[in-house]
């Protein structure tokens, strides 16, 4: 029947190989030769967080860490968790209570 809808028409198209190549090339163009890998960010992120909480200009002091945190979701999540932990220790927010 010509009036019936073809279910294959509702399936989203997969990106063409050329599109994927363009996306990857775009990502490569956004990289810098001096970007930090995750392991180096992990070594410095505690100091970065402390400076940030003191109100220091961490973007100026550690621009490569800032750039990495903007681009790397996993490291950004760890950084946010570290900020919460430091605030809890410093008494800015209550630490979670254990069951008694």
pLDDT reported for residue 44? 94
**81 has a pLDDT exceeding 60:** yes
**46 has a pLDDT exceeding 50:** yes
pLDDT reported for residue 100? 40
pLDDT reported for residue 73? 93
CB 75 within 8 A of CB 68: yes
Confidence of residue 75 (pLDDT cuts 50, 70, 90): very high
């Amino acid at each position: 029947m010509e009036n019936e809808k073809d279910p294959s028409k509702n399936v989203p198209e997969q990106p063409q190989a050329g599109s994927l190549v363009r996306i990857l090339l775009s990502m490569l163009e956004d990289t810098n030769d001096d970007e930090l890998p995750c392991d180096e960010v992990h070594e410095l992120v505690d100091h970065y967080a402390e400076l940030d909480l003191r109100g220091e200009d961490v973007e100026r002091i550690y621009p490569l860490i800032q750039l990495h945190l903007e681009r790397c979701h996993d490291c950004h999540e760890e950084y946010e968790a570290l900020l919460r932990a430091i605030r809890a220790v410093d008494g800015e927010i209550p630490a979670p209570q254990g069951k008694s």
